[in-house]
Structure 1
Amino acid sequence: MHRPEPNFNLAAQVLKQAEQRPSNIAIVYEGRETTYGEFAGRVRRQAGLLRDSGVCVGDRVGFLGFNQPTFIETLFATISLGAIFVPLNFRLTGDELTFIIGDAGVHSLVVDSELAPVIQSVKERLPCRHYFSVGDDVEGFTSLDSAMASVPQLDDVVALAAHDTLLIMYTSGTTGLPKGAMLTHGNIVWNNVNANLAFGAKSSDVLLTAAPLFHIGGLNVMTISALQMGSPLVLLRHFDPGAVLAAIESYKVTHMFGAPAMFLFMAQHPEFDSTDLSSIEILIVGAAPCPASLISLYGERDVSFCQGYGLTETSPFASFLGPERCLEKLGSAGLSPVHTELRIVDSNNIAVGPDVRGEICVKGPNIMKGYWNRPEATAKAIDAQGWFHSGDVGYLDDEGYLYICDRLKDMVISGGENIYPAEVESVLFEHPAIAEVAVIGLPDDKWGEAVTAVAALNAEETLTLEELRSFAESKLARYKLPLKLHLVPQLPRNPAGKVLKFQLREQLS
């Protein structure tokens, strides 16, 4: 008996929620509430516009802009047609965007009017056939809202399989040119199945997104999942600690994703103590290890953290650590999700035992299809058995809990010893003068590389290298102690909250 294949197009799933809950709130943005019915209407009209502009199955549609409802509408309008969405980092220069837009072969580009000058400066070098602006009218761009008003909406969403590409998300390109990770409809759906099993998601949850949507953490830790579940999404244009606290209290937010630095800035805000946080069920933290002091600080307000580890290429979740063991397993990134596996391998790709450090590898239906137009890079990243090689160093304890030591490329080799900066950072961070710290290796004639601490201090504090070494010497082997200390106003971070160590190395080498 022939069984018809289900339509795995994520747009069909979200638009079904709109049919079932048309009057429920979909998105809250800058005080305006959009219902699921209104959201679905805008998605279908934009899909009609893109269709009439020549966008076909497999074509790429890009979006350059700050967090806003149109970002999400463009995503679902694009994939409704079976086309592929390309979110663009709004912090990139014109030259950087030229490479990505050209590499992806973007057919149509939707641009926030605030960022249009960046595109105008390189427009003659871009392959796009159509340019649409959001917000103010821009010379050389078609107003998206005006154009949408005069086209018939799309009625039927294109049927797709789980293996069809949904989006191409470019990695940060900390070394070399950025690569576009092809994430499929199946990748996104299975990631969210894993997440929902871990968090116990329900349609009555109220989720807040302040992390940038062009990053996998902002887009697919909770944002897409909220719309799949038919939940309300509170969306902020930018992260602002005071605005986040106000939104949590006003809209009774239950879930939020962020980097540790975001939650730290919220805790340091003058309104933190007076903000009602009682609606929060869980805060999901990723992009870097969460310090015990931050867990305890929020714990005093009866707010729990769920820590996660993942990458763009894993859609992103590769492990979870729930609140029930976050202090007992401090420093761990948790267990692999239900539908995903983890293992640690040596340099010969042989799995190692508990407590042995090696490269973290991930396998499951959330692993990317590959890198766009990069077959050699894909073959290097995903081995013949389907394991994705993360480039991160870690180990599993005897219960299978993952501990991340560092990036392979961030490891410091000093005097022939392998030193993992994250281990040193966790000790240095406990110094009362330090607000944030990063450890890097700098060239050294004697040791090959010198362990170097780069720190930003709390207000009115001072710190010398001798004081720092004295503080850490009882907790670290001597070869791990910093040989150099550089004080900076703040550490450079990417939009996901990760410290840009390559920038520090370039500046200080």
Structure 2
Amino acid sequence: MNPLGLATWLSARAQRDPHKPALTFENETWKYAELQRRVEEQAAFLASTGVSVGDRVAYLGMNHSNFLVALFAVNRLGATFVPLNYRLADDELTYILDDAGATALIADGQHVPIIDRIRGSLAVQSYLTFDGEFDGWLQHGPAEGGSVPEVEVSPDDVAAILYTSGTTGRPKGSILTHRNIWTGNVNWMLAVNYHGEHIALTSAPLFHSGGLCVMTLPVLMAGGHVIIHERFDADRVLADVETYRVTSLFLVPTMMLYLTQEATFDSADLSSLQIIVAGAAPVPKHLLELFGSRGIPVSQCWGMTETSTGATFLGTERALDKLGSCGTPGMLNEVKLIDFDGNDLNTPGVPGELCVRGDTVTPGYWNLPDATAAAQLDGGWFKTGDVAYQDSDGFYFICDRLKDLIISGGENVYPAEVESAIYTHSAVAEVAVIGMPDPEWGERVAAVVVPKQGATIELDELREFLGGALARYKLPRELVVVDELPRNTTGKIMKHVLRKDVGAIRS
């Protein structure tokens, strides 16, 4: 068997450490042997419904141990796992399921009604659930003894397709191979020293590469213990750090802030924490100092779904003297900058586009050959679309986004998608969507609107109008009405001017 295969390395870990705790959810702990048994039984059940090599199997549900069982079971059959963002609107889910060509869909009970609303427009053949009884859904109960042989996969077979927001208003399916995920796991182990005694708590969404790939999969591969929360709840995170003597947390800065705002933060016993891995945005100095005062080191990183998450890593000892940096390249990937003509850029302090090369990098986007080609350079380099610079010590700093990506509370929001939805409003003549600094969310979505003559528009009404088309985290939190949008000589909207003007209005 290929040792890089997801199902293969889990099976190998279960053989080595059958009696070690692997997963805990809602106070129920499975040891590695139990996790492996459940994976084999679910794979047998999926095979009985017709799932086979190369099929795409989608999953819609909250964080749950069943999410990981499904991931490994699907890959045991040589099929591809497609996790769905449960925050998406009906139209968005429909598009992704159709684009992926999903032949089977697994949903938890609370999301069955959502799929039932759109089921008539889907080409999915098998609908599966693991809790509750629903008309037209196959329920997989606690089967016993079922198993099918593991399919041998190639390292470059597609293990998962993770959909990210698209700059053209449609999500893009980022392909992750078995090699990508395996190499990403090892990259993280080398960067932050994950090992078999780590106890990691995951509360970030598992459908995100951050929740899945930054800590959960590397710790499982290392033989550690993963505690899963259905969703992030600051008070419960603090309580479970004490209960399970958690050593590792993955948090975005907003989540870190929420922890400090809990009444129990000062009295919570956090002495077991060996590391907080932080991503999505730079951690503010006051949070670094606050957690540092509790003896909790913070390791910051930069990466993206297309690079199996981490591509640069900042050691905990450099958090303050390299404030704002995302670190240096990982052990198993390379990073470089190019100027805006595509030439290599090595001058400290001069911004350029960040590029990544290595076995962590996606081979491309599902069904999007043009987007794949546009992101790839000769020599195996991948253009990330992020603008960064290096200091004289070789540390990278993200300073802008070529594609105007907004990161709000750890969620990626692309303005073009939101703008397309806003343009369908009858009162809107022109719109530009920008990200504005926000002390709670890092950035918030702001819509700058030119209304049609004689028309008026209010924020609450606009949010309500968009609610059926966009996930809630993509909805504008701020509305600015203007007479015209600033444009350059070619007619392109100058969003940097908008950010400055909106900031001036607010101040």
TM-score when scaled to structure 1? Answer: 0.82
**1:102 aligned partner, one-letter code:** D
2:59/2:105 contact within 8 Å kept? yes
- Pair 1:86-2:86 in alignment: no
1:451/1:483 contact within 8 Å kept? no
Match of 2:121 among 122, 125, 142: 125
2:253/2:278 contact within 8 Å kept? yes
**1:346 aligned partner, one-letter code:** D
CA displacement, residues 312-340 of structure 1 (integer Å, 9 cap, x when unaligned)? 10001110001111100001000000111
Structure 1 residues 445 and 374 mapped into 2: Cα distance closer, same or farther (>3 Å)? closer
CA distance in 1, matches of 2:206, 2:495: 37
Shift of 1:8: 2.5
Aligned residue pairs total 439
2:177/2:362 contact within 8 Å kept? yes
Match of 1:338 among 318, 326, 331: 331
Structure 1 residues 102 and 276 mapped into 2: Cα distance closer, same or farther (>3 Å)? same
Shift of 1:435: 8.4
**Partner residue in 2 for 1:365:** 359
Structure 2 gap segments, 5+ residues each? 407-433, 449-483, 489-493
CA displacement, residues 266-285 of structure 1 (integer Å, 9 cap, x when unaligned)? 11111101111110010000
Structure 1 residues 450 and 110 mapped into 2: Cα distance closer, same or farther (>3 Å)? closer
CA distance in 2, matches of 1:411, 1:253: 33
**1:399 aligned partner, one-letter code:** D
**Partner residue in 1 for 2:59:** 63
CA distance in 2, matches of 1:219, 1:481: 36
- Pair 1:34-2:30 in alignment: yes
Shift of 1:409: 2.8
Structure 1 residues 304 and 141 mapped into 2: Cα distance closer, same or farther (>3 Å)? same
Mapping of residues 10-409 of structure 1, within 5 Å:
10-145=6-141, 148-149=143-144, 152-154=146-148, 156-173=149-166, 175-352=168-345, 353-409=347-403
**1:210 aligned partner, one-letter code:** S
**1:301 aligned partner, one-letter code:** R
CA distance in 2, matches of 1:53, 1:135: 17
SS class of match (1:483) = helix
CA distance in 2, matches of 1:71, 1:6: 23
SS class of match (1:92) = coil
Shift of 1:444: 4.3
CA distance in 2, matches of 1:387, 1:9: 24
2:486/2:497 contact within 8 Å kept? no
CA displacement, residues 485-508 of structure 1 (integer Å, 9 cap, x when unaligned)? 18xxxxxxxxxxxxxxxxxxxxxx
SS class of match (1:409) = coil
Shift of 1:176: 1.5
CA displacement, residues 136-175 of structure 1 (integer Å, 9 cap, x when unaligned)? 11121111226x45x7312x32222221111000002354
SS class of match (1:28) = strand
2:220/2:226 contact within 8 Å kept? yes
SS class of match (2:276) = strand
2:254/2:441 contact within 8 Å kept? no
**1:483 aligned partner, one-letter code:** A
2:24/2:226 contact within 8 Å kept? yes
- Of all paired residues, the percent bearing the same amino acid is 40
CA displacement, residues 403-444 of structure 1 (integer Å, 9 cap, x when unaligned)? 0002113399xxxxxxxx99x95xx96xxxx88655979564
CA distance in 2, matches of 1:213, 1:86: 11
SS class of match (2:323) = coil
CA distance in 1, matches of 2:486, 2:47: 61
SS class of match (1:197) = helix
CA distance in 2, matches of 1:210, 1:27: 13
SS class of match (2:57) = strand
CA displacement, residues 104-141 of structure 1 (integer Å, 9 cap, x when unaligned)? 11111110110111100011111111111121111211
**Partner residue in 1 for 2:468:** none
SS class of match (1:8) = coil
RMSD value over aligned CA atoms?
Answer: 2.3
CA distance in 2, matches of 1:451, 1:350: 28
1:282/1:305 contact within 8 Å kept? yes
CA distance in 2, matches of 1:372, 1:450: 32
CA displacement, residues 451-505 of structure 1 (integer Å, 9 cap, x when unaligned)? 567xxxxxxxxxxxxxxxxxxxxxxxxx79932218xxxxxxxxxxxxxxxxxxx
**1:323 aligned partner, one-letter code:** T
**1:54 aligned partner, one-letter code:** G
Moved more, 223-232 or 235-244: 223-232
**Partner residue in 2 for 1:458:** none
Structure 1 residues 196 and 7 mapped into 2: Cα distance closer, same or farther (>3 Å)? closer
CA distance in 1, matches of 2:487, 2:74: 56
SS class of match (2:506) = strand
CA distance in 2, matches of 1:345, 1:446: 27
1:7/1:160 contact within 8 Å kept? no
Mapping of residues 464-503 of structure 1, within 5 Å:
482-485=503-506
TM-score when scaled to structure 2? Answer: 0.82
CA distance in 2, matches of 1:408, 1:437: 16
**1:348 aligned partner, one-letter code:** D
CA distance in 1, matches of 2:119, 2:441: 42
CA distance in 1, matches of 2:130, 2:86: 14
CA displacement, residues 372-411 of structure 1 (integer Å, 9 cap, x when unaligned)? 1111110001122211111111111122111000211339
Shift of 1:6: 4.0
Shift of 1:20: 1.9
CA distance in 1, matches of 2:177, 2:165: 19
SS class of match (2:174) = strand
2:2/2:8 contact within 8 Å kept? no
CA distance in 2, matches of 1:102, 1:67: 23
Structure 1 residues 483 and 347 mapped into 2: Cα distance closer, same or farther (>3 Å)? same
